[in-house]
Amino acid sequence: MGKVLIIGAGGVGSVVAYKVAQHPEVFSEIVLASRTKAKCDKIAAYVGNNRIQTDQVDADSVEQLTALFNKHRPELVINVALPYQDLTIMDACLACGVHYLDTANYEPKDEAHFEYSWQWAYRERFEKAGLTAILGCGFDPGVTGVWTAYAHKHHFDEIHYLDIVDCNAGDHGKAFATNFNPEINIREVTQKGKYYENGQWIETEPHQVHKTLHYPEVGPKESYLIYHEELESLVKNFPTIKRARFWMTFGQEYLTHLRVIQNIGMAGIEPVMFKGMEIIPIEFLKAVLPDPGDLGENYTGQTSIGCRIRGIKNGRDLSYYVYQNCSHQDAYKETGAQGVSYTTGVPAMCGAMMFMQGLWRKPGVYNVEEFNPDPFLKALAQNGLPWHELFDVDLEL
Ligand code: NDP
């Protein structure tokens, strides 16, 4: 049992706050802080019962963060602001003796590039300070890594082929919107594709490789090979993997909008002069796009995310598909947020719960697959994201 500080009052932050508040036996006190305090107050009012205290912080400033940590003295901080803030928050954790959990790896603001090296470089300092840092505890990264650890622990002697498949078969009724922070989302999906094969990383042009895959209760969807951060840690932590890829579904309408946005320069991250002031095109674009946190009300359909794994058990080939489907409407009815925020916020709460219960607690910096998957997956199913397993099925990949 302990006090938790959530940083970031967006779509994901609202779900984390809602879910954490459901477990007073684990989270004794809750503080929600973000750049805009009014957004924290709105979430706190939605959760009700004065369960959540709110505060303001600019998480780009280690000084402001340390002042916030010293004021509230949390045991754990859940970082659901943006990946740009990961390192400042980790620095403040070290300065104040606070444990750390996030859902997305660090990305410098001026370079559309993400990798774990920056955060892994904190391992020794967290070890020495006796602090735990849990990296990438959303759905993907997050649950996908825990499932891989679970498959390795219970079903396979060796995992050889891993394909993570992420389908959003939802319809929000907008011509174009992103399901989480537009800036981060567009940076992620417009970069080159990359996958791992036989010890090497192979690059592809953006959206060059695609295939029709069938998703449970959804049916066929065109799925595109993109690079995703958990591939980096999973091939390191499961060295028998020969090939690891990540697939995400996109509708034609979404891809057409994305192409136009890129072609006209609106996805740019370099500053341009506009009416005598510098603006960054993608930041301006974010300001005119729908807020992902507001998509929930009219969002229909569901997400279906899974791991398709092939390997060997007792000398025999085995294929395994583990997946979770989440209805946008069900997520909205429960928390006021759409399915993508929900599927990220629930695992973040479960990871925080594992930490508070002492089940995921060891000094250092770890990816989720380095912890015991069993209690986490039990908590996940109990807290709104039941998951399913299929054995010896056609994985299509
Ligand atoms: P939003 O843009 O909706 O929310 C981000 C929040 O962080 C906003 O409230 C924003 O404040 C706040 N924030 C941004 N910069 C700062 C700062 N410098 N100081 C304090 N607060 C700040 O994003 P989402 O909720 O959609 O996503 C949150 C995180 O979750 C992202 O890192 C995203 O990459 C990650 N994610 C992970 C997934 C996974 O499965 N692992 C899937 C989806 C998202 P303000 O409101 O003032 O702008």
Regarding whether 308 and 189 lie in a shared domain, the answer is: yes
Q: What is the pLDDT of residue 48?
A: 94
Residue 158: is its pLDDT beyond 80? yes
Ligand 1: centre distance to CA 221 (Å): 28
Q: Which of 7, 16, 31, 34 to mutate to test the pocket of ligand 1 (most atoms within 8 A of CB)?
A: 34
Contact partners, residue 295, CB within 8 Å, separation at least 6: 172, 174, 177, 179, 338
Query: Distance between CA atoms of 125 and 129, rounded to whole angstroms?
Result: 6
**Backbone angles phi and psi of 256, in degrees to 5:** -65, -45
343 within domain boundaries: no
Residue 112: is its pLDDT beyond 80? no
Peptide bond between residue 141 and the one before it cis (omega within 30 degrees of 0): yes
pLDDT tens digits for range 122-149: 999 999 999 999 999 999 999 999 999 9
Residue 53: is its pLDDT beyond 80? yes
Q: Please count the other Cβ atoms lying within 10 Å of the Cβ belonging to residue 239.
A: 9
Regarding whether 52 and 160 lie in a shared domain, the answer is: no
Q: What is the pLDDT of residue 283?
A: 93
Q: What is the pLDDT of residue 360?
A: 98
Which atom in ligand 1 lies closest to the alpha carbon of residue 82? 32
Q: What is the pLDDT of residue 111?
A: 79
Q: Please count the other Cβ atoms lying within 10 Å of the Cβ belonging to residue 302.
A: 22
Q: What is the pLDDT of residue 109?
A: 86
Last residue of a domain, one of 135, 160, 175: 135
pLDDT above 90: percentage of residues in the chain: 92
Q: Which amino acid is at 381?
A: A
Looking at per-residue pLDDT, the higher value among 64 and 183 belongs to: 64
Strands in 27-34's sheet, in edge-to-edge order, are: 52-56, 27-34, 2-7, 76-79, 99-102, 132-135, 364-367
Give ligand 1 pocket residues (Cβ under 6 A): 8-13, 34-36, 39, 57-60, 80-83, 85, 103-104, 138-142, 180-181, 184, 292-293, 340-341, 344
Q: What is the CATH number of the domain that holds 49?
A: 3.40.50.720
Nearest to 136 by CA among 166, 175, 104, 108: 104
Ligand 1: centre distance to CA 397 (Å): 33
pTM of the model: 0.96
Looking at the structure of the chain, the number of domains it has is 2
83: enclosing H helix or E strand: none
Q: Which of 91, 344, 349, 380 to mutate to test the pocket of ligand 1 (most atoms within 8 A of CB)?
A: 344
Q: What is the pLDDT of residue 293?
A: 82
Instruction: For residue 275, count CB atoms less than 10 angstroms from its CB and return exposed for 0-12, middle for 13-18, buried for 19 or more.
Output: exposed
How confident is residue 65, by pLDDT bands cut at 50, 70 and 90?
Answer: very high
Which atom in ligand 1 lies closest to the alpha carbon of residue 185? 34
Q: What is the pLDDT of residue 279?
A: 96
91 within domain boundaries: yes
Helix 182-190, helix 252-263: angle, nearest 10: 90
Which atom in ligand 1 lies closest to the alpha carbon of residue 293? 3
Last residue of a domain, one of 99, 116, 135: 135
Ligand 1: centre distance to CA 81 (Å): 4
* Range of 176-190, 258-272, 346-360 with top mean pLDDT: 346-360
Distances in whole angstroms, Cα of residue 4 to Cα of each of 141, 349, 352: 22, 10, 9
- Judged by DSSP in three states, 218 sits in coil
373 within domain boundaries: no
* Nearest residue (CA) to ligand 1, atom 34: 104
Regarding whether 226 and 171 lie in a shared domain, the answer is: yes
Which atom in ligand 1 lies closest to the alpha carbon of residue 58? 19
pLDDT tens digits for range 183-201: 888 988 889 999 999 999 9
Last residue of a domain, one of 109, 135, 161: 135
Regarding whether 231 and 114 lie in a shared domain, the answer is: no
Regarding whether 296 and 246 lie in a shared domain, the answer is: yes
Regarding whether 170 and 274 lie in a shared domain, the answer is: yes
pLDDT tens digits for range 197-248: 999 999 999 999 999 999 999 999 999 999 999 999 999 999 999 999 999 9
Residue 349: is its pLDDT beyond 90? yes
Ligand 1: centre distance to CA 284 (Å): 16
- Judged by DSSP in three states, 119 sits in helix
Q: What is the pLDDT of residue 376?
A: 99
Q: What is the pLDDT of residue 253?
A: 92
Q: What is the pLDDT of residue 113?
A: 79
Ligand 1: centre distance to CA 290 (Å): 15
Regarding whether 124 and 218 lie in a shared domain, the answer is: no
For residues 334-348, average pLDDT: 96
Instruction: For residue 334, count CB atoms less than 10 angstroms from its CB and return exposed for 0-12, middle for 13-18, buried for 19 or more.
Output: middle
Q: Which of 89, 103, 280, 285 to mutate to test the pocket of ligand 1 (most atoms within 8 A of CB)?
A: 103
Query: Distance between CA atoms of 290 and 176, rounded to whole angstroms?
Result: 8
Q: What is the pLDDT of residue 187?
A: 85
Query: Distance between CA atoms of 253 and 259, rounded to whole angstroms?
Result: 10
As given in the structure block, the two tokens for residue 338 are 């759409």
Q: What is the pLDDT of residue 180?
A: 87
Q: In which residue are the tokens 């505890």 written? A: 137
Regarding whether 29 and 161 lie in a shared domain, the answer is: no
Distances in whole angstroms, Cα of residue 352 to Cα of each of 3, 27, 59, 138: 11, 9, 20, 11
Range of the domain at 73: 2-135
* Nearest residue (CA) to ligand 1, atom 42: 344
Q: What is the pLDDT of residue 196?
A: 98
342 within domain boundaries: no
Regarding whether 188 and 330 lie in a shared domain, the answer is: yes
Q: What is the pLDDT of residue 363?
A: 98
Ligand 1: centre distance to CA 243 (Å): 31
As given in the structure block, the two tokens for residue 216 are 């449970």
Regarding whether 319 and 187 lie in a shared domain, the answer is: yes
326 within domain boundaries: yes
Q: What is the pLDDT of residue 110?
A: 83
361 within domain boundaries: no
Contact partners, residue 182, CB within 8 Å, separation at least 6: 282, 285, 286, 289, 292
As given in the structure block, the two tokens for residue 72 are 């509230």
58 within domain boundaries: yes
Distances in whole angstroms, Cα of residue 257 to Cα of each of 166, 251, 252: 20, 10, 9
Ligand 1: centre distance to CA 82 (Å): 4
Ligand 1: centre distance to CA 152 (Å): 32
- Among 95-99, 120-124, 290-294, which is the least confidently predicted range? 290-294
Query: Distance between CA atoms of 63 and 41, rounded to whole angstroms?
Result: 23
Query: Distance between CA atoms of 333 and 108, rounded to whole angstroms?
Result: 35
Instruction: For residue 204, count CB atoms less than 10 angstroms from its CB and return exposed for 0-12, middle for 13-18, buried for 19 or more.
Output: middle
Query: Whole-angstrom distance between the N-terminal and C-terminal Cα of the chain?
Result: 43
Regarding whether 70 and 149 lie in a shared domain, the answer is: no
How confident is residue 182, by pLDDT bands cut at 50, 70 and 90?
Answer: confident
362 within domain boundaries: no
Ligand 1: centre distance to CA 27 (Å): 22
Q: Which of 5, 6, 7, 12 to mutate to test the pocket of ligand 1 (most atoms within 8 A of CB)?
A: 12
The strand ranges marked E within 205-358 are 210-215, 219-225, 243-249, 272-274, 277-279, 302-313, 316-327
Ligand 1: centre distance to CA 280 (Å): 18
Q: What is the CATH number of the domain that holds 271?
A: 3.30.360.10
As given in the structure block, the two tokens for residue 157 are 């002697």
The mean pLDDT value of the chain amounts to 96
Regarding whether 125 and 226 lie in a shared domain, the answer is: no
Q: Please count the other Cβ atoms lying within 10 Å of the Cβ belonging to residue 378.
A: 11
Residue 94: is its pLDDT beyond 90? yes
